A and B are shown apart, each in its own frame.
Chain A
Amino acid sequence: MLVELFFFYFAAAVIGLSLMVITRKNPVHSVLWMLLLFFHIAGLYLMLNAEMMAAIQLIVYAGAILVLFLFVVLLLDLKKEIGEEQYVGVWPTGVAVAVALFTLLLIMTRSFVAGPHGNITIERVRELSHPGVVGRAMFTEYLFPFEVASLVLLVAVIGAIILAKKRIKE
């Protein structure tokens, strides 16, 4: 009972906070609401016995990415930003489609049947510790995607430098 109560609190908070993020006019406020959002997502991870994920969520997203967001937001002209129209004219259509999709997915999830579970059980996690399990999976079974992810990040770095930094020859 207590677990359900916690889950519903976190789930409702995540939805509510997401709405706050996209409806604020001031981007700084949006980013700060997002900080709260990240904390609540970390709460959801904790309830799934994924302590490692919760910690990474806080360190990487709340700690690093959000600070980066704030830096970018501070480069904007805030006064101009607040004065401008926030949404494009067709937003009611967007909301209608989103609500319809949400209802459809909600009805769909009622017939969900969970497939067979993997080999990483809670007992195994206790035995090997969280980082141990994640590390083992990452460097054995998921070694190839892990390496490809590093290439994706490299491309992102090159792309950002080219588009923003490289001097234009005249």
Chain B
Amino acid sequence: MNFQMSDMAYILPETIMAVCAMLLLVADLVIHDKKVTAWLSLAIVGATMAFTMSVPVGTAFSGMVVSDRYATFFKMVFLINAALTILVSGAYFSARKEEHGEYYILMLFATLGMMMMASSGDLMSLYLGLELMALSTYVLAGFLRRDIKSNEASVKYFMLGAFSSAFLLYGISLIYGLTGTTQLAGIAKMLGEGTITGNPVLLAAIVMFVVAFGFKVAAAPFHMWAPDVYEGAPTPVTAFMSVGPKAAGFAVMARVFVAAFASELAGWSALLAMLAVLTMAVGNIMALGQTNIKRMLAYSSIAHAGYALIGVIAGTAQGVAAMMNYMMIYAFMNFGAFAVIILLDRNGTGFDGLDDFRGLSKTRPGIAFIMLLFMFSLAGIPPTAGFIGKFYLFTAAVNSGHVYIVIAAAIFSAISAYFYLRVVRLMYMEAPDSEIMCACEPVRVKIVLAVTAAAVVLIGLFPDALVSLARGSASVFRG
């Protein structure tokens, strides 16, 4: 029970990240060129990534931390997301004269919170990781302090986030009362005995968890905050938020539902299935009428939460593997689409109307082609990565007997093709009405575009490596 030095080995990546982030916070006081802070924070992410890959497998801190391949896989998603965000942020914020070193530090702390969520073995460490992530993200959303929309995004996200935390805490307290433990393994053991299966209090606790996690991944009907927050927040932060907290939400969802509440599969699976269909419907149908690209991508990211939920609903290791696979692919394609918007940003005046894409293939053929790739991938058209992701999700759902949900997902995917391909049509089949001025084309954003586009194509053509990695990492789940 007491602290042992050997426990530190399991949280070495987190420790390195936390210590370096705090040192950078102090060092930032004397660093005048914020570019240096950006590169240093990128180096911290890189170092953390290196240590994450070699972390030993096991539990530490009396079961609070579980270090396994599942956690490692998600940590890689979070770290990739953080690295991409750091690369696209500099130019965006310096054009708006709001480049502060603390931005990168909060980004590191948010990522740290996500990593703690992914490797939490106890509801206490899960909750604290979630708060660390959420609190940092609330501030990041409001980073453009002179922009009233950014203020609004921050306040809205904060209020609703606090509300969802209350649900999570109530759920945790009910579970603690019923099982006498907050450890996920202990809960699984206690529920596995079957003495309280079907107890209304247990069902209420499951509902509370569904509400809280549904909020974090922006699943309908808990998605109301997403369009406003995604639109108002600075675009790099929107890209960060649409991938990181969502992936972290899914990481804990599988740990809590698939592992700890395994014996209550019928209950939460039915609940999540309703949520998934509603989420896909709301996301895809609402996206049809959007004229703002950030709002459209917000609804699109709601819809993608619906697809990924299918993997959790299956409740099998195969389903979890498909969900992990999808999260990694989604991270690249979604981030790429946001990176295009950031690149086309007109010196701080913003680039967010769909009409701005008109005739892009004439003025910027390269960028237009990359955007086409991301749109195809988000719509799930082969041979891009998005198709591979959906393919494995649907296979897992069919194998676990959820055929109806696959049919629904297929229908909504077809609907989604309309609004994704509308962007392509605007780029390729319309004449440009204005010359897009890009006085400063940051190389860092171009690197991000190259990386994400390459990932989308390569995973689409050679999916084996990622698929087998996800499958191996999900083997910690039974079934």
A111-B199, A159-B135, A163-B145 given; A148·B116 CB < 8 A: yes
The chain A residue with its CB closest to the CB of B175 is A115
Among B125, B176, B199, the residue within 8 A (CB) of A145 is B125
**B32 interface residue, CB < 8 Å from A?**
no
A108 CB–B CB distance under 8 Å: yes
The range of chain B's interface size is: 35 or more
A88 on interface, CB distance cutoff 8 Å:
no
Partner of A140, one of B2, B122, B138: B2
Type the 1/0 row for B191-234, where 1 means its CB is closer than 8 Å to any CB of A.
00000100111011000000000000000000000000000000
Of B97, B109, B154, most A-chain CB atoms within 10 Å: B109
Q: How far is the CA of A143 from the CA of B145 in the complex (A)?
A: 36
Q: Which residues of chain A have C-beta atoms less than 8 A from B98's C-beta?
A: 168-169
Report yes or no: A156 in contact with B145, Cβ–Cβ below 8 A: no
The residue from B102, B116, B122, B177 contacting A112, defined by CB atoms under 8 A apart: B177
Contact with A along B152-177 (1 / 0, CB 8 A): 00100000000000000000000011
CB neighbours of A90 from chain B (8 A) = none
Check A162/B128 contact, CB under 8 A, given A109-B201, A140-B62: no
Contact across chains for B3 and A143 when beta carbons are under 8 A apart: yes
- Quick check: is B65 within 8 A (CB to CB) of the other chain? yes
B132 neighbours in A (Cβ, 8 Å): 148, 151-152, 155
Interfacial residues of chain B within 124-151, with CB under 8 A of chain A in the complex: 124-125, 128-129, 131-132, 135-136, 138-139, 142-143, 145-146
Contacts of B3 in A (CB 8 A): 139-140, 143
Cβ distance A18 to chain B, nearest Cβ, rounded Å = 14
CB distance B116 to A105 under 8 Å? no
Asked if B100 is an interface residue, CB under 8 A from chain A, the answer is yes
A158 within 8 A of B: yes
Least CB distance from A154 to B in Å reads 8
A122 CB to closest chain B CB (Å) equals 16
Q: Are A159 and B139 in contact (CB under 8 A)?
A: yes
Q: Does B105 contact A (CB under 8 A)?
A: yes
Contact in complex: A113, B178 (CB < 8 Å): yes
A114 to B3, CA, bound (A): 30
Q: Could you tell me if A108 and B200 are in contact, using CB atoms closer than 8 angstroms?
A: yes
A137: nearest residue on chain B (CB-CB)? B1
Asked if A107 is at the interface (CB within 8 A of a chain B CB), the reply is: yes
Q: Please, how many residues of chain A have a CB less than 8 angstroms from a CB on the other chain?
A: 36
With a cutoff of 8 Å between Cβ atoms, the chain B residues found around residue A71 in the complex are none
Min C-beta distance of A100 to chain B, whole Å: 13
Partner of B139, one of A118, A140, A143, A158: A158
Cβ-based interface call for A89 (8 A): no
Does any Cβ of A come within 8 Å of B18's Cβ?
Answer: yes
- A142 and B102 contacting across the interface, CB-CB below 8 Å: no
Given the complex of chains A and B, what is the CA–CA distance between A154 and B2 in angstroms?
25
Contact of A148 among B60, B106, B128, B146 (CB under 8 A): B128
- Are B200 and A159 touching (Cβ within 8 A)? no
Q: B400 on the interface (CB 8 Å rule)?
A: no
Tell me, in angstroms, the Cα distance from A156 to B162 when the chains sit together: 14
Q: In the complex, A116→B174 CA distance in Å?
A: 13
B25 proximal to A (CB < 8 A)? yes
**Smallest beta-carbon distance B87→chain A, Å:** 21
**Residue A91 at the B interface, CB < 8 A?**
no
Q: How close is B418's CB to chain A, nearest CB, in angstroms?
A: 33
Q: How far is the CB of B256 from chain A (nearest CB, A)?
A: 16
Closest-CB distance, A97 to chain B (whole angstroms):
12
Expressed in whole angstroms, the minimum distance between the Cβ of B278 and any Cβ of chain A is 18
User: Is A87 positioned at the interface, with any CB of B under 8 Å from its CB?
Assistant: no
**Residue B179 at the A interface, CB < 8 A?**
yes
Report yes or no: A156 in contact with B204, Cβ–Cβ below 8 A: no
User: A67 at interface (Cβ–Cβ under 8 A)?
Assistant: no
Residue picked from B1, B102, B135, B203, most chain A C-beta under 10 Å: B135
Q: Does B64 contact A (CB under 8 A)?
A: yes
Complex contacts, A143 vs chain B, CB 8 Å = 3, 61, 64
Min distance, Cβ A1 to any Cβ of chain B, angstroms: 25
Please determine whether B199 and A113 come into contact, CB atoms closer than 8 angstroms: yes
A141 at the interface (CB under 8 A from B): yes
A149 contacts the other chain (CB 8 A): yes
Cα distance, A161 to B139, chains bound together (Å): 10
Give the residue name and chain of the A residue nearest to B116 (CB).
A148
Contact partners of B196 in chain A: CB under 8 A: 113
**Residue in chain A with minimal CB distance to B174:** A112
Determine the chain A residues whose CB is within 8 A of the CB of B25 once the complex forms. 158
For residue A166, CB closer than 8 A to chain B, the reply is yes
Q: In the bound complex, how far is the Cα of B165 from the Cα of A111, in angstroms?
A: 25
Q: State which of B131, B135, B180, B190 has its C-beta within 8 Å of the C-beta of A117.
A: B180
Complex: how many Å from CA A120 to CA B365?
Answer: 68
Which of chain B's residues have a CB closer than 8 A to the CB of A111?
A: 199-201
**B2 contact set on A, CB distance < 8 A:** 140
Contacts of B201 in A (CB 8 A): 108-109, 111-113
Residue of B nearest to A114 (CB): B177
Q: List 24 A-B contacts (CB under 8 A).
A: A108-B201, A109-B201, A111-B201, A113-B199, A115-B176, A115-B178, A115-B190, A116-B180, A140-B1, A142-B64, A142-B124, A148-B125, A148-B132, A151-B18, A151-B109, A155-B106, A155-B135, A155-B139, A158-B106, A162-B106, A163-B142, A163-B145, A166-B100, A168-B145
Q: Knowing that A148-B128, A154-B109 touch, tell me 17 more A-B residue pairs with CB under 8 angstroms.
A: A104-B204, A108-B203, A111-B200, A114-B178, A115-B176, A115-B179, A148-B116, A151-B18, A152-B131, A152-B135, A155-B132, A155-B135, A155-B136, A159-B106, A162-B106, A162-B143, A168-B145
Q: Which 5 A-B pairs have the closest CB atoms?
A: A115-B180, A159-B139, A144-B61, A116-B180, A144-B64
